Amino acid sequence: MTATSPWTTEKPTALLVLADGTVIEGKGVGAAGKVQAEVVFNTALTGYQEILTDPSYLGQVVTFTFPHIGNIGTNDDDIEDLTPAARHGAVGVIFKADITEPSNYRASRDLDDWLKARGIVGLSGIDTRALTAWIRENGSPNAVIAHDPNGIFDIEALKAEARAWSGLEGLDLAKVASSGQSSTWSQTAWIWNEGHGELGDGEAKYNIVCLDYGVKRNILRLFAGLDCKVTVLPADASADDVLALKPDGIFLSNGPGDPAATGEYAVPVIRKLIDTDIPVFGICLGHQMLGLAVGARTEKMHQGHHGANHPVKDHTTGKVEIVSMNHGFAVDSKSLPEGVEETHISLFDGSNCGLRIAGKPVFSVQHHPEASPGPQDSHYLFRRFVNLVRERKGEPALAER
């Protein structure tokens, strides 16, 4: 892309200004204002509301490669952040086509109104395929996305802000995305034409403690569906805080930011928890920090993995599953120490997507098994974790599939 983008509208009311000085003009959608963030692209065809409320996207602008976003509107069920009042999730959004009127029986609000309510700044009317191609070649850029309904911008100031932002490396966002307080969860997964269920009093068989680095609701729902009472603790909870709840299992959640930064306070806690021999399961950021806890390294990826069409191979079964991914950092598989097995890999680029510790009930995956792109290829991982809990209790295993 050149310094002045050819992707223009007659009267631009929104700009995407990249750190290299590129200015992309479009039509403003969502909230007015501006924000510094990293720009990524997501290849999913559906699930835009879940994507935009995924706390792992905090600090990022999501470019949707699918051109028509918004045609099913929004509702109160398809929200992933645990504390929606705090509006943890993507800070900006980019569409190719204008948002259309919702056409779905579940819709309760137009997407544009919903974006405004959540403070998400956006623009539409640009060539998202060209922007995606640029990101693939050059990597995810730092940028400023700005929306002014009057089309008044100080472009040079925006360029300076884009250049000045330090980016996600070295940035701990887990404390921001965390709910920040202890809570319990009992809602089960949504079923068509019935809605969400509820794990009743006395029905829970297993006590799971979740360290919340930005946990998604559907993760907690799938645990509840397997008769697990989940207690959610803040990101900076101590090992003593966790163990005081006498957990049958410990979950390390997904979340945003640089795992090395979050790991400064989380890794010592995780190491103590590993030593207890209580089953531990991590997803996304939780996987990366488990990798750090066992002595591996994490690294910033060129463009990351963001989408719902990613093939991942489970070496423990030999099966390939189609998964949802959202991460810009990865565990360096070459740095995994002896005694730690790589269990999953991406079939796109061979990067690490899972690990387990030999001789311990501890494992994690990079992708999001609570999502349904396959549609439920990875749900077995929750049963795999619960089976570790059941084994420790002397109970027979559940079928994984």
Encoded tokens for 58: 């905090």
Q: Is 127 exposed, middle or buried (0-12, 13-18, 19+ CB in 10 A)?
A: middle
Which of 57, 76, 121 has its CA nearest to residue 325? 57
From the CB of residue 207, how many other CB atoms can be counted at a distance below 10 Å?
15
Encoded tokens for 291: 């990798």
Do 304 and 140 touch, CB atoms closer than 8 A? yes
- 65's CB contacts (< 8 A; 6+ apart) are 41, 42, 43, 128, 129, 132
Helix (H) or strand (E) holding 228: strand 228-233
| Residue of 306, 310, 327, 368 marked catalytic | 368
- What percent helix, strand, coil does the chain show, rounded to 5? 25, 30, 45
Establish whether the linkage from the previous residue to 375 is cis, with ω within 30° of 0: yes
Q: State the pairing for strand pair 249-252/280-283.
A: parallel
Which of 172, 285, 171, 184 has its CA nearest to residue 233? 184
Catalytic residue at 370?
yes
CA separation for the pair 111, 114 (Å, rounded): 5
- 6's CB contacts (< 8 A; 6+ apart) are none
| Residue of 38, 284, 305, 353 marked catalytic | 284
Hey, which bits of 69-200 come out as E strands?
A: 92-94, 121-124, 142-147, 183-185, 187-191, 195-198
CA separation for the pair 368, 380 (Å, rounded): 12
Q: State the pairing for strand pair 121-124/183-185.
A: unpaired
Do 295 and 272 touch, CB atoms closer than 8 A? no
Residue type, 184: T
Active-site positions read 284, 368, 370
